[in-house]
Structure 1
Amino acid sequence: MQDEEAQTVIPAVDAEAAATFVRESVAQATPFLFDAAGALIVLVLGLWAAGRIRKVVGGGLRKSPRIDETLASFLSSLVYYGLIALVVITTLGVFGVPTTSFAAVIGAAGLAIGLALQGTLGHVASGVMLLGFRPFNVGDFIEVAGHGGTVKAISLMATELATLDNRKVVIPNGAVWANAIVNYSAHPTRRLDLVFGVSYGDDLDKAIAAVRAEVDADGRILREPEPIVVVDNLGDSSVDILCRVWTQSADLFPVKWALTKAVKERFDADGITIPFPVRQIVQQAA
């Protein structure tokens, strides 16, 4: 009889302990489950919002004519990954993880990376400025940092030029932004100044008329602003006639070459001489 009573009591005690364990486990797990559910919701919604904001920012930047595709992608990605970092920190906070020390670690790591890559990041920052302010575009002929050439590519790190003899020059954007930039293609028209020297014994009006005739005969020379042909200087061995005209930027050098040749031939036909420097040596008697 005693053995049977013991056998009936032991299961009752085990069932009560199990029920107590279950209740305590549920009570302890419930806050964790709520935190986990909240963290999961924040993570999912945060990632979705970050993706949407990235698309909106990228689309808005690409609509601007001054924003390059490279710059738009870079800025939208920068916003996206910044939001991702914020979402992760917020998710950890909702989950119950202390985020103060975590944010401090991220800040310290970012500072260390920034110091290690300060030169590279400087070129990237200069690239952002170049792509944003657009002092020149691909296809423009520029002069910068002691180099001149046609712009072939602009990236976040460097600018690529092709010189007149078709050499490839890659200039770090930090050097480009830190130096004066001369953009020969920025404006649709350019001014061309040519100086023709004639002898002191020549008829100046005839020489001016000869230059003016060649200017009027070239249809690539613009009539506004009006071309100027005047006596500009009395040199050591010649009277200098200044010819100042305006052309389309693409016609500048062809007009210069053609007008120089045409004026020389007109001077020869009209008997107008182009003097050259003469050095006279006088020997004094001993």
Structure 2
Amino acid sequence: MNEVNFNLLVHYVSTFGIKLLVGLVILVVGMRLSTFLSNRLVAMLNRKEGLDEMLVHFFGSLARYSIIAVTVITVLNQIGVQTASLLAVLASAGLAIGLALQGTLSNIASGVMLIFFRPFRTGQYIEVAGKAGTVKNVSLFTTELATPDNVQIILPNSEVWSGSIVNYSYHETRRVDFLLGISYSDNIDKAFSVINGVIGGDKRIHAEPAPQVVVSELANSSVNITVRVWVVSGDYWGVKFDLTKQFKEALDANGLSIPFPQQDVHLIRSA
């Protein structure tokens, strides 16, 4: 290799090396900047009253990925890749890319729809795609839930949006149902009085709509009484657990039995 070729090689290596080094610096700075600005945006939006937390985190995620995309394009330009030509190639191969990324694009589109229509908010208890939990976050790609025993569930946005959504926290009030059984020999009116006494002693139960206490079924072993009361959604499980215990204790204290399943067997002697 003659001296001229060697000098050219050194020139190209040093020039590309400098571009590569600058590109790496831009990449590192851009990645750090994306995290910093995303966190700053979230903090700023959190200071605004009335802005839903789910919306805040979505915008934070959107800002982060946007900065990362700009950073990658800048790095490619820096090391000499013609991004205009690259974009033209990608555009011409759009169908293949779309098919390859349809799952990812579907998650992004579903995330946008979830934010736009807002069928649920952060902190609400929902059931989607066969999973139930409290909504923690909605990002560009996924929805995060936490089960009552604090297990994390991460679902693709496309699964959340494409299926039915059951929102247990959407309305301010919920109805709590109880099914109580008494013996056929017990006095029904007395049972009603005892049950209404328990209901009246709990201030969490709403007067309107009025509580219902009705005989709903004459079952094989018991007279079944259905009790329906309305409470604030946040009190649902507390009332459910407390009144189940109180109904049992009150019925026992007043001599009203809750029968076990039973059958009467008649023996007939033949002559």
User: TM (normalized to structure 1)?
Assistant: 0.64
Q: Equivalent residue of 2:108, what SS?
A: helix
Deviates most, 201-210 or 164-173 = 164-173
Name the residue aligned to 2:236.
252
Q: Equivalent residue of 1:126, what SS?
A: helix
Matched to 2:122, the amino acid is: V
Matched to 2:226, the amino acid is: L
- The offset of 1:116, in angstroms, is 2.1
Matched to 1:247, the amino acid is: V
Name the residue aligned to 1:126.
110
Name the residue aligned to 2:99.
115
Trace 1:32-51 onto structure 2 (pairs within 5 A): none
Higher RCO structure, 1 or 2 (CA under 8 Å, sep 6+): 2
CA distance, structure 2, for counterparts of residue 265 and residue 217 of structure 1: 14
- Establish whether residue 168 from structure 1 lines up as the match of residue 125 from structure 2: no
CA contact (8 A) 1:68 1:132 kept: no
Name the residue aligned to 1:50.
none
For the structure 1 residues 109 and 237, does the alpha-carbon distance in structure 2 shift closer, same or farther, using more than 3 Å as the test?
same
- Establish whether residue 241 from structure 1 lines up as the match of residue 225 from structure 2: yes
For the structure 1 residues 102 and 242, does the alpha-carbon distance in structure 2 shift closer, same or farther, using more than 3 Å as the test?
closer
CA distance, structure 2, for counterparts of residue 204 and residue 124 of structure 1: 58
CA contact (8 A) 1:71 1:132 kept: no
- The offset of 1:115, in angstroms, is 2.5
Q: Equivalent residue of 2:119, what SS?
A: coil
Q: Equivalent residue of 1:68, what SS?
A: helix
Name the residue aligned to 1:43.
none
Gaps of 5+ in 2: 1-40, 70-83
Matched to 1:276, the amino acid is: F
Whose radius of gyration is greater, 1 or 2?
1
CA contact (8 A) 1:141 1:184 kept: yes
Equivalent residues, number? 208
- Establish whether residue 210 from structure 1 lines up as the match of residue 185 from structure 2: no
Considering only aligned residues, what root-mean-square deviation do their CA atoms show, in Å?
A: 3.0
Q: Equivalent residue of 2:140, what SS?
A: coil
- The offset of 1:203, in angstroms, is 0.3
Name the residue aligned to 1:194.
178
Q: Equivalent residue of 1:132, what SS?
A: helix
Matched to 2:192, the amino acid is: I
CA distance, structure 2, for counterparts of residue 231 and residue 146 of structure 1: 34
Name the residue aligned to 1:178.
162
CA contact (8 A) 1:158 1:172 kept: yes
